[in-house]
Structure 1
Amino acid sequence: MWSRRIVLGAGVVMLALLVMRDAAPPRPARSEPVAVGPAAPRPPIVSRKVWRADEGLVRERATYTGPVSAAFLHHTGHLNTYDCADAPRMLRAMQKDHIESEGWDDIGYNFVVDRCGTIYEGRAGGVGRPVRGAHTKGFNTDSIGIAALGSFGPGTTVPPALEAGIVKVAAWKLGPEADPRGTVRLVSTNDESKYKEGEAAVLHVISGHRDSFRTNCPGDVLYERLPVIRESVARLRKP
């Protein structure tokens, strides 16, 4: 006959087998999120400290938005005959005008590119961070403003070096998911653009200022270069 101890032991083994059979399989360990880097290398950028931005004029600390999904191209309206060595002085004057005349917190553009192809840090907050600018009314969120130093209306030409600078900084700053040849859906945040507040607009990922606002900016000649710029940005980014 089975002893009482053997019978109890067998019962414990059977119960353990039933529990193991009905238990859910172990979940695989979750992998850590992988940081996604920029789709193009960072180009050389002249810092605010180097061009001697007046930090005492800045009214508010930088505001940050989501990943950069669009870039708006501008021109600054300066004469194209400037010496590139004068660009820092021109930026300081532009910063003062944007703050004192326009009433903005700082210079409006995130980046400025001169005719020699030099890229300058515009609005404060860190070139590697998604700083909210004051460049495109209604669409400053999740976008950057890149300004070409000069005027590019009829009868002008776009210096190849300036265009190359625009391409480099746009390729670096656009989020990895942005398609430079494609479009993006953005929602207007006020009624001062071509779109009413709350209205969705489908715009090029790389647009001209005039695409969202009633203006001639960035000038007819530079605007006509946008298809070429989009292709150049796409080629520079990782597939």
Structure 2
Amino acid sequence: MSYFLGKLTGEIPSLLIYPLVFVTFWYILVNPEAEFYTYYGLFLLFEIVFSSLGYFISVFVQRTHAEFVGVMYIILCALLGGVQPTVRTMSKEWYTLVLVCSSPVRWAVELMYTVEIRKYQESNQNVATALENYGFSYKAYYISPIILIAITIIFLVLSFVGLVMRDPQAVERIKTLTRVYIRKGKRKLKKLKSERKKPGDYVFQQESEIQVLEDGEESESDEDDELLLQQDEVYQPPSMQQDQQ
């Protein structure tokens, strides 16, 4: 966890600077209607989303193939960006709709388009046709950021899980803790079942509602489990080694 959080924290300066440099030149060349800080916020969000994608690819793909997979995924997302073909066209079939909705670029493009089109609407211009041609909606102004943040969280969680699973000791540690807590839960249920029924106490009405440990099953005691938990508290994961493949 410390290694993972350290990597994320170390990326914060670059995440803030790269969009700023890009938007500075892009804003001068394009001269959009929306404010500079609005587009900086948008591109900062896009940077965070695709940085999380980079973490995901670096964990699950070998280094020799990571760049190729990353480029191909970006190209695929761009093709499903909702511009050509449009979201309106892709929405005619359920499977094409799923494809276009799974692309982060599709939500990013719709968000940028909606931000810009709102400025024209403030000038009392009719922009409904422009939105309808692409299949976009004003709701994207609020929905798209939420979806992009959700995609980021999914990529980060999967990256963390993949990073943990690459350490054999961590995998064995998870298995051990799982067995410990399952045994502790079973013993508590057995104790609850064997206690005498008292007024106001919760009891199980039927024998079939709970599986009680048989005598001699799970011979490990609470002391054994506590020892395992104490060993887990002092567990130190090995330092991450670079993938030499």
Q: TM-score, normalised by structure 1?
A: 0.20
Between 1 and 2, higher relative CO (CA 8 Å, sep ≥ 6) is seen in 1
TM-score (norm 2): 0.20
